[in-house]
Structure 1
Amino acid sequence: MKSFQQQLADLGKRLGKNIDELPSLDTAEDYATRRKMYDAQANQDVAKLQLETKQARIQALYGASELNENWTFDRLIEDSQDVKEAISIAKSFIAAHQDPKWRNSRAHMMLFYGDYGRGKSHIAGAIAHQLIQQFEITVLYRQLQTLLELRFFSYDYQAEDKASMKFREISKQLLEVDLLILDEVCVNQTILKQSAQSWLGSLLRQRCADNKNCILITNHHVNDLPKALGTYCFESIKEYETYKVHFQGPSRRGSHESEQASDSSHYQPNHF
């Protein structure tokens, strides 16, 4: 019976190849070296795929959030003490997400209040950008008045714009998203309509029960919110671990200069 080497030589002759010119079989050392090389390449490919997949997920989160792309920390101007304090609290709020116990303990709310153009929406957006990038947190940014108008038109079931279906879809997102940012709460209104008070209060209570965080942005002073939002809605806010941040520096609208925000580890709730 012919050996494997003889069979290989016969096959080489039929193919017009000289067995002596063929590369020799790998030694155990060669195999181990190549195995390490293949494993390293496979690990690189997996890491690259994971990075591409993460980037795709992050882009999808950005697409669903409706955030302003310019609302980032590096575009903020630290020109007053209230902004510096807000950035300090914001970065501490972000850092707290590293602790799973903190994230699962209860719902947290940041309440930004102050006059127009003070940077409230910008800092809220910067928080959202950072949470998406660092923790892949789902975020939804909405102006409250826009939601209330959509809610109003959703009662017209004969309308052809499918407002009722759109409102049902967004209502689901409002409940499920990890961080909900509601801007311009009670804008141009002394008191929120009673039906809107009930709807917003129920939304906040449900999110609180599910340990979902919120950022509310308003130009009302915090002392006026019980009247502006109504008792039921304001009591819903008090169910959260609440952090009030007062913006009272100069208006910053129209300015595009920026400085690097400072870091801080202070993050303590200031309950009502």
Structure 2
Amino acid sequence: MERIERVLQQWKERLPIQGDKEQLLQRIFSAPPVQAFRSKHPDIPREVYLHSLVPLRQYVKEQANCGRCPGLEHCPNMVQGHQPELVPYSGLLELRMQPCDKLKRQEEQKRRSSLIRSHYIPKDILSATFNSLILNQGRIPAIDAAAEFCEQFAEGRPRKGLYFYGDFGVGKSHIAGAIAQRLVDHGVDSLMVYVPDFIREVKDSIRDGQVQEKLDALKKATVLILDDIGAENLTPWARDEVLGTILQYRVTQGLPTLYTSNLNLDELEKHLAYSEKGGVERTKAKRIMERIRHHVQVFHVKGPNRRGM
């Protein structure tokens, strides 16, 4: 009971007594945010302001907080990351909270990050943009095709994916990363996977029963980027039940897939025909390649190895 009375007393002390209302209103009127509001709403009578002292005082206080913003984490406002707005309502002034620019930028960044998912992809690749790509004659055709691929989402969905192949360090993965970043502008989700590590992860998932969940993530991404395909150690199971299952679903659903590889398509087919146990299964390799060859545009990416620069 004593605590309730103390809270009530503190609340009463915050409210101006009748004789102080005019003085308080004058101080509030001198605040620049209120002056700006009054200039936009010249028809609001003085009585409305006089009967809205509590929201007005909070408005002035929080606008001052925004003027010396200490950052989102230390925002002192009533609703963190929000700034006040005065709104005439039912003969009074009502205080409404709107997200501030800093919170909007943070939420936009989170939204962008949620659209780009990755497995084992380095940060420098995921942060690549078309503006950050280094141009040379050996890379320009692939970069132009990558930009065109993204722009097709403005009017629908590309009919084909892309296959970038070339030597180590020529920037194939960075072009793919730039595609993932640009797709965010079109509200398109993408998933970029480093194939060798993903294959190992799927094998390990057999024990905990999460294989299907992992496959579904790759099967259903709007754009799937398989990075460094051909560098993995394959078993017949991984080739047929993992890679084959993923690609078959995406082909039937018309979902574009992008690839980066050190191997051209013929070399990739040979790679897929051999298992880590030394077996050769050319027919099954051709079956996988049928789901790749006819559904991609192929680009040979050339240039110096920039990994050591």
Range class of TM-score, shorter chain: 0.5 to 0.7
| Residue in 1 that maps onto 2:200 | 149
Sequence identity of aligned pairs in percent? 26
Within 5 A, what are the aligned runs for 1:110-129? Answer: 110-129=162-181
What is the root-mean-square deviation in Å for CA atoms of aligned residues?
3.6
1:227-254 residue CA offsets vs partner (Å, 9 max, x unmatched): 33311100111452x2111113222213
1:97-132 residue CA offsets vs partner (Å, 9 max, x unmatched): 111x3x2x75x3110111211111111111112223
| Residue in 2 that maps onto 1:30 | 44
Distance 1:95-1:187 versus aligned 2 partners, 3 A rule: same
Q: Is 1:54–2:108 an aligned residue pair?
A: yes
1:176 alignment partner, one of 217, 220, 223? 220
Q: Please state whether the residue corresponding to 2:109 is helix, strand or coil.
A: helix
Residue identity opposite 1:226 in structure 2: E
Residue identity opposite 2:240 in structure 1: S
Distance 1:97-1:37 versus aligned 2 partners, 3 A rule: same
1:45 alignment partner, one of 98, 104, 116? 98
TM-score in terms of structure 1 length: 0.66
2:165–2:301 CA contact under 8 A, matched in 1: yes
1:120–1:247 CA contact under 8 A, matched in 2: yes
Q: Which has the higher contact order (CA 8 A, sep 6+)?
A: 1
| Residue in 2 that maps onto 1:135 | 186
Most deviating of 141-150 and 56-65 = 56-65
Most deviating of 224-233 and 111-120 = 224-233
Per the TM alignment, residue 44 of structure 1 is displaced from its structure 2 partner at its CA by 9.6
2:117–2:191 CA contact under 8 A, matched in 1: no
2:132 alignment partner, one of 75, 96, 103? 75
Dislocated runs of 4+, deviation >6 Å? 18-23, 41-44
TM-score in terms of structure 2 length: 0.59
Within 5 A, what are the aligned runs for 1:1-272? Answer: 29-30=43-44, 38=87, 45=98, 48=101, 52-62=106-116, 67-71=121-125, 72=128, 73-78=130-135, 80-99=136-155, 101=156, 103=157, 106=159, 108-132=160-184, 134-155=185-206, 157=207, 162=208, 164-165=209-210, 167-187=211-231, 192-199=234-241, 200-229=243-272, 230-240=285-295, 242-255=296-309
Name stretches of at least 5 consecutive residues in structure 2 with no aligned partner: 1-16, 26-37, 50-84, 89-93, 273-284
The number of residues matched between the two structures is 219
Name stretches of at least 5 consecutive residues in structure 1 with no aligned partner: 1-14, 256-272
